[in-house]
Amino acid sequence: LLALPMRLFTDDPIVVYNLLALLAFILSGWGTYRLAFHLTGNRWAAFIAGAIFAFTPFRTYQFGHLHVMNTQWVPFAVLSLIRVFETRGAAAPRAGLVIFTLFQILSSGSHAPFFLILMGVLGIALFVRHGTTVLLPGFLLRLAGAAIGIVVALLPLLLVYHSVQREYSFRTSRPPDVYSAAPASYLAAPPGNRIYGATLARFGHFESHLFPGAVPIILAALALAPKRHRMAGPDRADSQSWKTDL
């Protein structure tokens, strides 16, 4: 679907593929920036989050698998779901939830199960967070309508996949072990990584180099660290400004 507009200008598959790959980086960074800014109100934190998600080692190492790179719609769908709860089911966030969920599932069937698990867990957390303020018939009906719209739109494609799976017996028992990740995979860096590759590549294989890099881990630890208290006296304003920026 994303390639169709580009086909109006060129039929060169290499050009189209590279444009789509570039778009995956750009939209991943932009979407995560918008999500993080909505949650924190801090543009520096949002910029760093966007850069980390856009250029995660797993994405750059999978440049030959466009469907694996295509996680750019996840932050847009997550932000839309959050806004659905915040606005008690307003039309624009619901439309965004439907559109970006469909884009993500249609862009990457490989990521679809994990994406749906993420959205389900987030939905439960949002119900807990907002409590009884969203347990209203109107809101629940609007949310159910969005979910039904997604299922109806995906049903024709899912039926075709199911038919092919039955006819050719694709993966009837379990996914091949060679493509499955293990806990140790989150310590595995691609062998081409100049910093960690020589040491950490042995913990995984081509499909399971999931080490995110040291920078995201360090920044996440800093984000969870206890915050500094305000300073008394003339430096109080500067301290509050520093705290806000952090």
Average the pLDDT over each of 29-38, 80-89, 134-143 and give the range with the smallest value: 134-143
Say how far apart CA 144 and CA 91 lie, in whole Å: 13
CB 75 within 8 A of CB 96: no
* 236, pLDDT greater than 70: no
* 140, pLDDT greater than 60: yes
Residues 214-234 have pLDDT tens digits of: 889 898 888 888 876 555 444
- Encoded amino acid at 225, one letter: A
Alpha helical stretches, state H, the chain: 3-7, 13-40, 43-54, 57-61, 66-69, 74-86, 91-107, 112-130, 137-168, 197-200, 214-224, 236-245
Residues 53-112 have pLDDT tens digits of: 999 888 887 888 888 889 999 999 999 999 999 998 899 999 999 999 999 999 888 889
- 94 against 239, higher pLDDT: 94
CB 66 within 8 A of CB 20: yes
- Mean pLDDT value of segment 138-149: 91
Average the pLDDT over each of 42-46, 78-82, 109-113, 124-128 and give the range with the smallest value: 109-113
What integer pLDDT is reported at residue 171 of this predicted model? 62
pTM: 0.83
First to last CA, the chain: 40
